[in-house]
Amino acid sequence: MRFFHRHRGLTPYLLLAPGVAWLAVFFVVPLGFLGYQSLQTGNIDFGYAFNWAWGNYWHALRDYRAQFIRSIEYAGIATLLALLISYPVAYWIAFRGGRWKNLLLLFIVAPFFVTYLIRTLAWETILSDNGFVVNTLQYLHVLGPGGRLLATSTAVVTGITYNFLPFMALPLYVSLEQIDERMIEAAEDLYASKLQAFLRVTLPLSLPGVVAGTLLTFIPAAGDFINAQLLGGPSNHMIGNVIQSKFLELTDYPAAAAMSFILMAGILVAVAVYAWIVGTEQLTGTAV
Amino acid sequence: MSSIAAPARRERSVPATVLAFARRHALAAYSLLFFAYLLLPIAIVIVFSFNNPTGKFNYTWQGFTWDNWRYWDGVPGIRSAIVLSLEIALIASLVATALGTMIALALVRYGFRGRGTTNILIFLPLSTPEIVLGASLLTLFLNLNVIFGFWTILIAHIMFCISFAVVTVKARLVGFDRHLEEAAMDLGANEWMTFQKVTLPLIAPAILAALLLCFAISIDDFVVTYFNSGSKVTFPLFVWGAARVGAPAQVNVIGTAIFVVALTAMLANVLIQTYRSKGAE
């Protein structure tokens, strides 16, 4: 322990070293390998050669444009649905939860206690062709007599929305919970209607939660392939399904690596654009 | 408090009161519906663990039986998959929490060059889609000709658990009263003794929380594991394989068991917190 006293400046680095090294070797370096692989050509039998094959990227975008767009579309719709569904509940728990808050939050994260794949399989059961949901919808003539939900985009979006809902609800709750209720009362005392008070005070103050929840939901949703695999059909496949099959079934590593990079870049761009829009909105919100 | 005081402050007309009443209960009713929606799939998992399916598919209710629970390992491969998942989760959560706690201590306690970079390094794995994490590790192992199996799974799990451990422990350390440590030092304790006798007991709940979180994330992980498992099969991989030919009811049994254990642990945690905050009042 003398050593630490004599070299106090070293202590933080010694504490950091093992964990940071682990992340460097097994997170940063692999991303480099992924990039390296994405610019190679060849196949599993004759080996791969690195030759700056940027064509892999263009081919991926050309051949799998539909899957890329579908990923963004499904993830976007699911994120929006999750926001609309969980905002009122987060509001209710934050302002009316009282001493039941912790218990209600426990209910919100309850789905996470069931293995991801198993809860997705449960949706397969719920949406199955002879299940009560399909029967009810057929009875109400929303679905035709032979209509089904499985293998449709509705089923995939339903699954994604459900699976990532807690990621949306929790940050929403945290930001709503921090709002000083006296601010809302003050707005009402100054003759704001309930709606005005909500739009001008509560909603802007909860925006950090909306942003965090949206990102936490959208990012994993865009890369997901489990819902599309279990609840959708081939026409609902997302880019995750393509990456997965190229890597693990077709061993077309360069193409799969290029697609992984495009997915990551696409998400980064989407996040940046989103942060930019929300940022400016927040600015104008405070200016008004 | 304020919600009780508010109606008394201003006189409201009768329709407004009725409207306010309806609105409040509309929100409560909606929340009830929301929880029903949230818990429906869980109920399905539990109920179908008692199903007695006649064919291969455990989709429609056929009748009640205890057999799936009695013969929970009656499907080939399920037992070894569970054992592997538990082993990986146990080791990964211990290692990741140790590494994560050390990083959190360094980040909160010390000013040093490279703090910003370290923070970004912690944040990035959390904001990278799992499929990219899995795919990039796969290319690393492929290019280095590493044999896929237990060790590659373990390495991957430790990797994606570290950030969660850092975030959990850091949250607790930030709100920590440093005067307690200074007091110990004033009373003649050296740095190591202070850490052992003061810091560690105070952040122990956060370390435990990080352990449980990492354990839960590890045992549930499918995507990263799927890319780096070789021929090894963890429980989620078993479910994936089984789902292609119709998952047996035993999958629901294990799913229910994991759910009950996790729920009990979390309930105990919530109760202890409530009890402690009551004692503090």
Assess whether B96 and B187 both reside in one domain. Answer: yes
CATH number listed for the domain at residues A64-287: 1.10.3720.10
Please list every residue in chain B whose beta carbon sits closer than 8 Å to the beta carbon of residue A19: 99-100, 102-103, 162, 166
Nearest-Cα residue of chain B relative to residue A17? B103
Which residues have C-beta within 8 Å of that of residue A156, sequence separation ≥ 6?
A74, A227, A228, A231, A232, A236, A238
Nearest-Cα residue of chain B relative to residue A124? B59
Q: How far apart are CA A223 and CA A270, in angstroms?
A: 13
Nearest-Cα residue of chain A relative to residue B153? A26
Please list every residue in chain B whose beta carbon sits closer than 8 Å to the beta carbon of residue A121: 239, 243, 247, 251
Please list every residue in chain B whose beta carbon sits closer than 8 Å to the beta carbon of residue A28: 121
Are A89 and B34 a contacting pair, CB within 8 Å? yes
pLDDT on residue B6: 47
Please list every residue in chain A whose beta carbon sits closer than 8 Å to the beta carbon of residue B163: 23
Q: How far apart are CA B185 and CA B175, in angstroms?
A: 20
Q: How far apart are CA A159 and CA A74, in angstroms?
A: 10
Q: How many distinct structural domains can be found in chain B?
A: 2
Assess whether B229 and B170 both reside in one domain. Answer: yes
Which pTM does this prediction carry?
A: 0.87
- Could you report the predicted ipTM of this complex, rounded to two decimals? 0.87
**Interchain pair B131, A5: CB under 8 A:** no
Assess whether B20 and B139 both reside in one domain. Answer: no
Residue B64 within any structural domain of the chain: no
Between B99 and A189, whose confidence is greater?
B99
Assess whether B180 and B85 both reside in one domain. Answer: yes
**Tokens matching residue A270:** 């989407």
Q: Is A207 helix (H, G, I), strand (E, B) or coil?
A: helix
Q: How far apart are CA B274 and CA A132, in angstroms?
A: 40
Residue B208 within any structural domain of the chain: yes
Residue B5 within any structural domain of the chain: yes
- The total of other beta-carbon atoms located within 10 Å of residue B233's CB is 19
Domain residue limits, chain A: 64-287
Which residue carries 């339903």 as its tokens? Answer: A158
Give kind and range of the element (H or E) at residue A138. Answer: helix A132-139
Residue A41 pairs with which residues in a beta bridge? A49
Q: What is the pLDDT of residues A43-100, one digit of tens each?
A: 887 888 888 889 999 999 999 999 999 999 999 999 999 999 999 999 999 998 888 8
Residue B136 has pLDDT above 90, yes or no: yes
Residue B22 within any structural domain of the chain: yes
pLDDT on residue A47: 82
* pLDDT tens-digit profile, chain A (288 residues): 455 555 667 888 999 999 999 999 999 999 999 999 999 988 887 888 888 889 999 999 999 999 999 999 999 999 999 999 999 999 999 998 888 888 899 899 899 999 999 999 999 989 988 888 888 898 888 888 888 888 899 999 999 999 999 999 999 999 999 888 888 889 988 988 888 889 998 999 898 889 889 988 999 999 999 999 999 988 999 999 999 999 998 989 999 999 999 999 888 888 788 878 776 555 444 333
The whole domain housing B17 covers: 1-40
CATH of the domain at B202: 1.10.3720.10
Residue B274 within any structural domain of the chain: no
Distance from CA of A142 to the nearest CA of B (A): 20
